[in-house]
Amino acid sequence: MQLTARGMTDSPVERRVVVRADVQSCCLPVEAGLRRPVGRCSCQLFLRRCYTSCVPTLETDRLLIRPFEGRDLDELAAIVADPEVRRFLGAPQDRAEAWGVIAHLLGHEALRGWSQNAVIERSTGRLVGRCGLYQPEGWPGVEVGWIFARGAWGRGFATEAAVVWRDWAFDVLMLDELISIIHPDNVASIRVAERIGHRYLRDEMVLGESRVIYGQRRR
């Protein structure tokens, strides 16, 4: 399966996005949030109606976006320990907290069928950040979010990765709406949101903190 990234406003050339065939299939309950069945279930974990979900590995010319693995801990720990990276997210995180982030995101993936994934720079093999879809219980909607190492800032990685997930969310999951939840002072992330086609929707309190919600609907 191949998708072409749409709406890359920071580049005149459309990037080819490859969704690799070696995806995992699992059965998810209706509450997982998918809008349509895409296959017949063989899993016996759920006896009621369920959906088949693919956990993708997404590729662009520069990035490999895959589920987190244990080997990512060292590089992720270095990223989230940086106060500048965490400036609008909370206090810097230590190694144990970074491990908890990986465990949380993999658990989210097991329940939803998708999550925020590791972003690898293909030319170096380095983990440069994370990006993907996120919707824990009580969240305002399905969010596309991103966090990148300071050394990866200014290279268009966040926009490139977010566009891939935007297209996958609309073209594969058939979501009606995709949002991003952003600290009101985080100008850089607001610019990324606008580049991928989001517009300002509203202010909202999220986990007790004031945030701006940007988003867009499927065309």
126 and 78 Cβ atoms separated by less than 8 Å: no
Q: Which H or E run contains 121?
A: strand 116-121
Give the Å distances, CA to CA, from 171 to 11, 132, 165: 21, 15, 10
Residue 20 is predicted with a pLDDT of 52
72/59 Cα distance (integer angstroms): 18
Residue 56 is predicted with a pLDDT of 85
For residue 113, give the nearest of 135, 129, 139, 96 by alpha carbon: 135
Task: Give residue 51's domain range.
Answer: 2-217
Number of domains comprising the chain: 1
pTM of the model: 0.79
Residue 19 is predicted with a pLDDT of 52
For the chain, what is the radius of gyration of the CA atoms? Answer: 17
Indicate if the pLDDT at residue 18 is higher than 80: no
Indicate if the pLDDT at residue 3 is higher than 80: no
Residue-wise pLDDT tens digits, 121-158: 999 999 999 999 999 999 999 999 999 999 999 999 99
Q: How many CB atoms lie within 10 A of CB 23?
A: 13
User: What's the token pair of residue 97?
Assistant: 């907290």
> For the chain, where are the alpha helices, taking DSSP H only?
73-80, 95-112, 157-171, 187-195
Q: How many CB atoms lie within 10 A of CB 110?
A: 12
Indicate if the pLDDT at residue 4 is higher than 80: no
Residue 141 is predicted with a pLDDT of 97
Measured in residues, the chain has a length of 219
Question: CATH number of the domain that 61 lies in?
Answer: 3.40.630.30
Residue-wise pLDDT tens digits, 37-91: 333 333 333 322 333 346 789 999 999 999 999 999 999 999 999 999 999 999 9
21/102 Cα distance (integer angstroms): 24
Residue 53 is predicted with a pLDDT of 46
